Amino acid sequence: MINIAIDGPSASGKSTIAKLLCNELGYKHLDTGAMYRCVALKAKQSGIDYNDKAELEELLENIKIDFSSEGAVLLDGKDVSKEIRTDEISMLASDVSTKKEVREHLVELQQAIASNKGYVMDGRDIGTVVLPDAEVKIFMTADVDTRAKRRYLENKEKGLKSNLRELSQEIIERDYQDTHRKHSPLKKADDAIEIDTSNLTINQVVDKIMVIVSEVLPKE
Ligand code: DC
């Protein structure tokens, strides 16, 4: 078994593709963005000032993030899969992810999880920081309009209301923040393969990655 790292900007299709790859390969999916979202939700719920180092460290010491076997995201034992997907938490997650303490804490957890191999992990710094030795690294992109439309449809499916123009604006803001932060900014690893998914179907993207994976997987 190998590990597969998928990085890219928000709404570029990373999670959707990661889940399908896991089905194909019988691997496990780790959505690292969901972990940053959990930190953001907990900060909001407990009303802490995450710019205060001591308050933030206490939050991190007490946070428990798990994934159920069905893929639900559990924060301190409670299913928060829906709550972490709001536009407000998206922006807050991008904000808390700029904090060094948060990154160090979550990266350590992510590396421990992936040490057994057989993971498809998606995020912003997987190929560069979390799993620099991942056997396959993909950098997934798509233009802003395509990504905003995808998020809009995704929200609609989940029964969440959103506005296309606001979504585009939010994506542009998050792109800026995620690529310009001091600690582990979003960037393509030198050895990652870039795939622009703007004009590709989901199946086309999965097929492309499966070809790359099959070249790396040890032959039986
Ligand atoms: O993938 P996502 O949109 O659910 O991620 C939410 C935020 O978390 C994103 O704006 C940046 C941050 N993030 C990160 O900094 N590093 C990761 N590996 C994953 C997410």
Go through the domains of the chain in sequence order and give each one's CATH number.
4-210 (3.40.50.300)
Distance 95 CA to ligand 1 centre (A): 10
Distance 2 CA to ligand 1 centre (A): 23
Q: How many CB atoms lie within 10 A of CB 188?
A: 17
pTM of the model: 0.93
Could you report how far apart the first and last alpha carbons of the chain are, in Å?
A: 12
Task: Give the separation between CA 167 and CA 101, rounded to whole angstroms.
Answer: 28
From atom 20 of ligand 1, which residue's Cα is the shortest distance away? 33
Nearest to 134 by CA among 149, 150, 119, 123: 119
Task: Give the separation between CA 202 and CA 142, rounded to whole angstroms.
Answer: 12
Of 16, 84, 97, best ligand 1 pocket probe by most atoms within 8 Å of the beta carbon: 97
Tens digit of pLDDT at every position of the chain (220 positions): 999 999 999 889 999 999 999 999 999 999 999 999 999 999 999 999 999 999 999 999 999 999 998 889 999 999 999 999 888 998 899 899 999 999 999 999 999 999 989 999 999 999 999 999 999 999 999 999 999 999 899 889 888 888 999 999 999 998 998 899 888 899 999 999 999 999 999 999 999 999 999 999 877 6
Nearest to 142 by CA among 6, 14, 4: 14
Tell me which residues have their CB closer than 6 angstroms to ligand 1.
10, 32-33, 36-37, 93-94, 97, 123-126, 174, 178
Distance 218 CA to ligand 1 centre (A): 31
